[in-house]
Structure formats: structure tokens, C-alpha cells
Structure 1
Amino acid sequence: MAEARFQVIAGGAVPEEPLAMDPWQFQAVCVEAFVASWRARGFSPVTIDNDVGLLERTLVALGRPAWEVTPGDIDRVVGDLAVKGRATSTRCEYVQIFKGFHRFLQARKSAEIEAAFGVRLVCPVDEFNASRHDGDDSPALVPPPTPERVAEFFDFMKQRIATARKYGPAARDYAMFRTLYHAGLRSEEASLLERADVHFSRGPFGKLHVRFGKGAHTSGPRPRWVPMLDGLDLVLRQRR
């Protein structure tokens, strides 16, 4: 039998030391991949734009790459928001969006992060710094309802109008939900609309003047014009 011989080959599949990589550039790539996953799940452009802005503000406030964030960093950011008088819901949104991003890193990027930066991912959000209303139902985690589910909901609303004891409240609720759906308004924005804010003659479809749109905490409401698409003008004309 021929003598067996072994040859040592330099190098290996797993690096012995962390790879050299700029953490901020790598995090930017991870954010882009996270946003791409929202598009794959069918989130609307409006929702994506809002959540991207929220995620960017959260990461800037934390001041370090997501895989280096500690429970103390979460305490600091949430505490600063509370001192500034931000609502509980706003503080919850910061925590939720970070949790969603961190879970994405754990699922998709944990091996790369450990190889590049020598960090094993552990979420810094715990029972002590999470909001009482914090959960896994943030917009970044829960996909929107299917078109079939939306159609089923509005069929129910139409049947409710037909059988309601008082037509007015049932028709009002239907018009409000249709406005939320077609115009992309927030519930508070829609509830603050008045008859004078509906302008059927503006543009080819008519427009809503959202006078109390969401704005920065210091600058106050941010008004804007919203086109009445997909037959929303017909719904509001009938309600009028």
C-alpha cells in the first residue's frame, strides 16, 4: 500500500480574526436590505417612507451600530424622549422599529456581523426598557391586509349601512374608512377633517386639505393637499 501523505494548505474558510469593514457603511447596506424586505411584503410607499425616517432617527439617537447597542443605550434614548415630552406611542415606535431591525440582523446578517466585528447579536430591548405596549405588531413586522381582506371589510361596512337603524352614523363610518384607505391618511388626520376641507373642484379628482397633518414635535401640524383617487370623490359626494 502506498504511503498516505497529507498536505497542509494555508488559510481557512473561517477567519481567525474579525474582518476589516467600516461599521457605518455595513449598517447602511443592512438598512437598505431591511427596507427591501418591506417592499417584498407589500408595504405601501407611504408606510415605507415613514418607517425609514423613524429607523434613521432611532439609529442616529443611539449613536452606535445596531449590533453594539446596549440596554443602557435604549434606556438613554427612550428616557430622553420622555424628558422632551414625547408621547408614549412615539417612544414605543422608536423601540419597535429598532426591535424589527435587530431581528432582521439576527435572521439575515448575524454570521457576517460576527465575522466582521466579532459581535454575537443579543437584542438590548428587555422587560425593563420596553414600553408597556411594546410587541411584535409594529408596521415593520406585520404585513398589510390582502386585497381580498380589504374587499371583505368594505362589503361588511356596506351591509351595515343597509341594516343600520340610523343611516347617518353608518354612512359616516364607511366614508371615513374609505378616506383612510384611498387617501392614505392617519386616523387622527381623517377625524379632524371638516366639510370645508373637501375641494371637489381642485385638480382632476378633487383634493382634501389636511390642515392637521402630522409634523415635527416642535413645528406643529404640517398641512398638505391629498388627491381624492379611486372614486373617493364619489364616496364623499354621496356622504355630503
Structure 2
Amino acid sequence: MRRGFEAPGSARLELVSGVLLLHPEDAVLDGMLDGWEKQQLGRRLEPDTIRDRQSVVRRFVDFSGEYPWNWTAAHMDEWSATLISEGGRAKSTIRAYQGALRLFCDFITSPHYRWSEVCEERFGTHPVQVCYEWNTTAHLDEYEGDADRRPMTREEVQALFDYADDQVERAVRLGRKGALPAYRDATVFKTIYGWGLRVREASRLDVADFYRNAKAPELGRLALMHVRYGKGTRGSGPRRRMVASVMPWAVESLDDYLQNIRSRFPDRTGRQAVWLTERGGRLQPREIEDRFATYREALGFDKSLVPHCLRHSYVTHLIEDGADPKFVQDQVGHRVASTTAIYTGVSTDFTNTMMRRALDRAFQADGQEKV
């Protein structure tokens, strides 16, 4: 570090040297958090992520009853035990909390930011790292979501689509105003399944997010879908990906909606959103989830099923139909193959077919060796 240079977020920049503070402990804590914010902004982390991490630090201060320069590993032990036994937090949530505290401790103990020096001068002690492998939750599993969540079967997917289409016909037959929203919602569900989308990815689609592909001219302008709001890693922005259209019937359904239905909604989004509300706003994920829940209850489906299960079904059914796993991985935007693997719930028939092929190859090889 150059002589006289102070890194953004350092103690000397956040605190005015030589000034007597009325409440020095609170002032130093606020300075640490403000400095940490600047350090993270310099790494281009999202503001929401930074605020969440700062909130974790303040909660830990409240829990321990101590300022960061007085924290010990014992405080971390007690907090982790409380989160696990009383808080009912998911394993991934607890790990995120612990990760935020580890990063904060890294920041305030780094010599580059000189918070240890300030604490020694003002309080006669200094902060230490309190998060270690032996007192934090390890990331042992690739998938830590709800174990009850599963792909929908082909029969369930078809029943959902049929019921959604029936709601359109029913509204038209009765002369009700809900025909257009019902048509839109039916197409939303087919699009989520047809391209393996997350609900937010579907909600954020714009009309300009579709492209032609010379290798699939029969699909017209919907041969490729540009997903611009894919799920990013923690702290980063959305990850983009291009998804190839592989279900012609889904292309036909979406094209019909764009050609004949969307223009009947007012559009006040300024972005030509694909899915519009009756007031001209963009259809939000919560509205998609609520309509799915209504249809799920009407069909008597398991309450654990949510729109995201259609994405799981997309992966499962493509794998069952013989699609290359790497292609499926790229389609849904997974960085590692193991994440795609936990999405799959291949049917018994598919499993038996694969088993039979493996056994036939094994027996054939064994017979050739004996000969």
C-alpha cells in the first residue's frame, strides 16, 4: 500500500481524527458499516445485497450484546445454535448469515482498512475473526431447497394446461371480462414450461426478447428467447442466456398470444412487456404464483407444487426424451451439471429403460469376453 494512501472504507476516512465522540462505540460501529458498504460497492456488489449483510451484522450485535471488537467465537457458537434450534431457518439461510459475518470480520481485521488500529487506540482491544469451519454451517449439498418440491408429471402438466384453457372458454361462454387474463395466464404457464423459465424470468420478458434462427426457420421469430433476468450469483446482477425453442406447440401458443391477445391489453410499461395486466402494468411473479395456486387447488394437486415445478418438469422431460444433459444445463442456465441433476425426477419407465440398456450392454460385453 502506498504511503499516505487510504483505501476506500478505511477507518481514517470514515472517522475524523482527533475528534472526541459523544458515543464512540456507536460511532465506530456505524463507521465500520459505512466503510464496509464503500468497500463492497467498489467490488460492484448489488445495493440490496450490501444492505442485507449490514442488517445481519446489526442483528448479531444485538444478539451478542457486544461491539465487533469484543466478539468471540463463543458468541458465534451461541448464535448459530439459536438459529438452528429456535429460529427455524433454512440451512442455506444460516450459511448466508454466517458468510456475511465472516466477510465483515475479514474487512475490519484487514490491515488495509486500519480498523484494528482505531479500536486499539479507543478501546484497548481489537476485532478478530469469529467464523471458522468448526462453528459455521458447511455447504455440503448442491441443493438445499424444499425436499417436497418435485417436477410435475406429464399428466399433471397436461391437466394444468387443459384446466387453464377451460377457464378461457368458460369466460367467453359466459360473456365475462376475465377471458383475456385467463388466456394470458394459460400462455404464461405454457411458456414457463416450454422454455424452462423461472417465474421472474417469465415476468420480465419483453416483446423484443425473441429472435429468428437460420437453423430453425419453421419457428419464425420465436426460435430463440433472450432471458435477460436470469438468477445471478449472490451479490452479482442478473445473468443473461439465450434459450433455444424446442417445443413447437409452445411456440405456437406464445405466437398466437402475441399476435392476437397481447394488443388487447393497454401497455403502460414503456418496455413492451410480454405479459400485461388489465391496467397496463407488467404482470408480477406474485400474480403468476397466485393464479397457479388457484388452479392447483381446483385440480386437487399437492400443495407443494408451485410454478417453479414447471421448470423442473422441463428439465426432467427433456432428459427423459433423450436430450443431451449439457444442452439442458445450458438451456436452464445452470453453471454446474450437478444443479441440473437435482432438478430431474425421471419416471420409472425411463429409469427402467436406461437400466435395461445398461444391463444389455454389460451382458453383451461379458459374453464377448467369455468367447
CA contact (8 A) 1:110 1:121 kept: yes
Q: After superposition, what is the alpha-carbon deviation per residue over 1:141-173, rounded to whole angstroms, capped at 9, x for unaligned? A: xxxxxxxxxxxxxxxxx99x9879xx9xx968x
Distance across 2 between alignment mates of 1:46 and 1:163:
41
Q: 1:102 aligns with which of 105, 108, 118?
A: 105
Q: Using the TM superposition, give the Cα deviation of residue 76 of structure 1 relative to its aligned residue in structure 2, in angstroms.
A: 0.5
Q: Which runs of 5+ in 1 are unaligned?
A: 1-18, 135-157, 186-194, 213-240
Please tell me whether residue 122 in structure 1 is matched to residue 128 in structure 2.
yes
CA contact (8 A) 1:20 1:116 kept: no
Q: Which runs of 5+ in 2 are unaligned?
A: 1-20, 141-209, 239-253, 255-273, 290-371
The 5 Å alignment of 1:77-226 reads: 77-84=79-86, 85-107=88-110, 108=113, 109-133=115-139, 175=227, 178-180=229-231, 199-201=275-277, 206-210=282-286
Judged with a 3 Å threshold, the aligned counterparts in structure 2 of structure 1 residues 127 and 44 are, in CA distance, closer, same or farther, namely closer
How many pairs were matched up?
Answer: 152
Q: After superposition, what is the alpha-carbon deviation per residue over 1:95-141, rounded to whole angstroms, capped at 9, x for unaligned? A: 1111111111112111111111111332122232022129xxxxxxx
Higher helix share: 2
Residue type matched to 1:110 in 2? S
Distance across 2 between alignment mates of 1:113 and 1:93:
27
TM-score normalised over the length of structure 1 = 0.51
Q: 1:153 — aligned with what?
A: none
Residue type matched to 1:29 in 2? G
Distance across 2 between alignment mates of 1:162 and 1:97:
47
Query: Could you say what secondary structure the match of 1:128 adopts?
Result: helix
Distance across 2 between alignment mates of 1:202 and 1:118:
64
Q: 1:29 — aligned with what?
A: 31
CA contact (8 A) 1:106 1:121 kept: yes
Residue type matched to 1:130 in 2? T
Q: 1:45 aligns with which of 44, 47, 59?
A: 47
Residue type matched to 2:276 in 1? F
Identity of aligned residues (%): 21
Judged with a 3 Å threshold, the aligned counterparts in structure 2 of structure 1 residues 80 and 31 are, in CA distance, closer, same or farther, namely same
**Greater C-alpha radius of gyration:** 2
Pairwise CA RMSD: 3.8
Judged with a 3 Å threshold, the aligned counterparts in structure 2 of structure 1 residues 41 and 69 are, in CA distance, closer, same or farther, namely same
Q: Using the TM superposition, give the Cα deviation of residue 79 of structure 1 relative to its aligned residue in structure 2, in angstroms.
A: 0.3
Residue type matched to 2:40 in 1? W
TM-score normalised over the length of structure 2 = 0.35
Judged with a 3 Å threshold, the aligned counterparts in structure 2 of structure 1 residues 20 and 50 are, in CA distance, closer, same or farther, namely closer
Q: Using the TM superposition, give the Cα deviation of residue 89 of structure 1 relative to its aligned residue in structure 2, in angstroms.
A: 1.3
Q: Using the TM superposition, give the Cα deviation of residue 33 of structure 1 relative to its aligned residue in structure 2, in angstroms.
A: 1.1
Structure 1 runs, 4 residues or longer, greater than 4 Å off: 161-164, 202-205
